[in-house]
Chain A
Amino acid sequence: MTSTADHAIVVQHLVKSYGEKRAVDDLSFSVRRGEIFALLGPNGAGKTTTVEILEGYRAPDAGTVRVLGLDPQHDAAQLKQRIGVMLQQGGIYPTVTASELLHLFRHFYRDPEDPEKLIDLVGLRESAHVRYRQLSGGQQRRLALAAALIGKPELVFLDEPTTAMDPQARHLTWGIIRDLRERGLTVLLTTHFMEEAERLADRVAIIDHGRLIALEEPKVLTQANAEEVQFTAPPGLDLATLAALPAANSAREPRPGFYVIDTARPADLLAEVTAWARDAGILLNDLRVGHESLEEVFLRLTGHELRE
């Protein structure tokens, strides 16, 4: 049972179409209070549409959504005091500085956070008086994150929070988002960046064509197929030969030239694969033992790659 006491967000049988296209197609999921929940899917999967319905920007065609126990359409004024929103892009006056923006937004909320604390939190102290359009892409995203936090929200929506960030800024931002969870906030984020979902989220909903494909903890999703040995080699190798190696259970070639062999004894299989390749005169690249990555999970579940 999903109750609004334990859940920050409850989505039931949500449908939203734009003309002929069903952007969201009978989608149901719930986000527990205090968790980081990721919507993972390729561009056009319906992530942003779903989030914008939860934020109150759009009305559903069918189905129900509850956010902090409220209806985003009818209880908008109440809800806006309690949520923070980071749009996928833009949303900030180009000629305004971080300091000016946060000091403006402060006046919209009943119990605002100190803007100076937020500037330090997102690492914009040295750029606090630089106009938005002169900030780097990553700095602009961090200011958008700070603006989402100014109202001391219980729940934040982060739509693709780390796009346009370099690795350093991305890790800084992941740290900030984890700290939000420590402080008891609920985070709903969308991403098409699997490492982000894997590292950050307590639970991941994989979405494709507006439908829910899977909903699990990241490690459950990626360990579904036990262990495996992966390598790249010329495309078109005989899969039956690979599957017949003593330690192998099955073999597949999900992309041309990329091979995955499932096994219960990865160390033995590794030795067998290298011996076979030496005898056959085949050069193996990127040979590794591992779990499926979320990208491979996505490929297996949907039949196509995450980035397209």
Chain B
Amino acid sequence: MNALLAQTRMELLLSLRRAEGILITMIVPVILLIFFASIGLKPDDYEDPIDFLLPGMLALAVMSTGLVSLSIRTAYERNYGVLKRLGSTPLSRPTLIGAKILATMAVQVVQIAVLVGIAVAGYGWRPSGAFLWALLAVLLGTVVFAGLGLLMAGALRAETTLALANALYIGFLLLGGIVWPVEEMPGLLSIPARLLPSSAFADALRETLSAQPTLPWVNFLILAAWSILAIVVASRTFRWE
């Protein structure tokens, strides 16, 4: 086994040992999906609630893995001197970041499988849409939220990262197009909310996974801009100790 795979396995092990991480990445999206699908929450222009809810919960799950789980774990690794210690081993920093991204994506595969499984089995969702575009949306979303997570973890104190990651998660969940479309928000609030990475991500998934899929190029542009911003700022501000 090479260093990348060994480190990826360690990252997954560390994720599994954080109970609150599993709560926020796995259990919360599942419970919200079941809860809102059961009460039939949907905007007027959707026929079936699951067509609206599933993309939003997929977005929430992918977002939480990078923005919350990865950021808090990495922030505490920095706090405990683990990142510093790894820096004196031959494990290179690109390999370490690569292992973190691979582990994040592995968790996302499980999240997507579980959420899609519940939607299909419990609410009669039939996969439809442009899957390659949806996959591209997931990849862009992964980069955006993992990038924002690493940005916080590398620049802020661990306690600050913990608080801010959870605050952003709640903020995006409630105001960022995850459980309710930003178009239906009151007045001026809808315009900045439209530019949030969470609403661009959730909308991109809704557009690509609908029965008549469209290429969500505006949302892709918004996500690409957030990706570049997160990577540039994170690579300039990241401190290893």
Residues in chain A within 8 A of chain B (CB atoms): 55-57, 77, 80-81, 83, 85, 87, 89-96, 100, 104-110, 147, 151
Contact = CB atoms under 8 A, between A and B. Distances in A.
Interface string B59-85: 000000000000000001100111011
B89 interface: yes
B87 to A, nearest CB: 7
B39 interface: no
B80 A92 contact: yes
Contact of A56 (B3, B18, B88): B88
Given A91-B80, A107-B3, A85 B85 contact: yes
Contacts of A147: 85
Given A91-B80, A96-B14, A104-B10, A83 B88 contact: yes
B101 to A, nearest CB: 18
Interface of B: 1-3, 5-7, 10, 13-14, 17-18, 76-77, 80-82, 84-85, 87-92, 241
A151 B89 contact: yes
Contacts of A80: 88-90
Nearest to A80: B90
Contacts of A151: 89-90
B90 A109 contact: yes
A57 B85 CA distance: 10
B1 A57 contact: no
A55 B88 contact: yes
Contacts of A106: 6
Nearest to A147: B85
A211 to B, nearest CB: 26
Contacts of B84: 57, 87, 91
A284 B10 CA distance: 61
Contact of B1 (A92, A93, A107): A107
Contacts of A95: 14, 17-18
Nearest to A88: B81
A91 B81 contact: yes
15 contacts: A55-B88, A57-B88, A81-B90, A87-B81, A90-B80, A90-B81, A91-B80, A91-B82, A104-B6, A104-B10, A107-B3, A107-B5, A107-B6, A108-B6, A109-B90
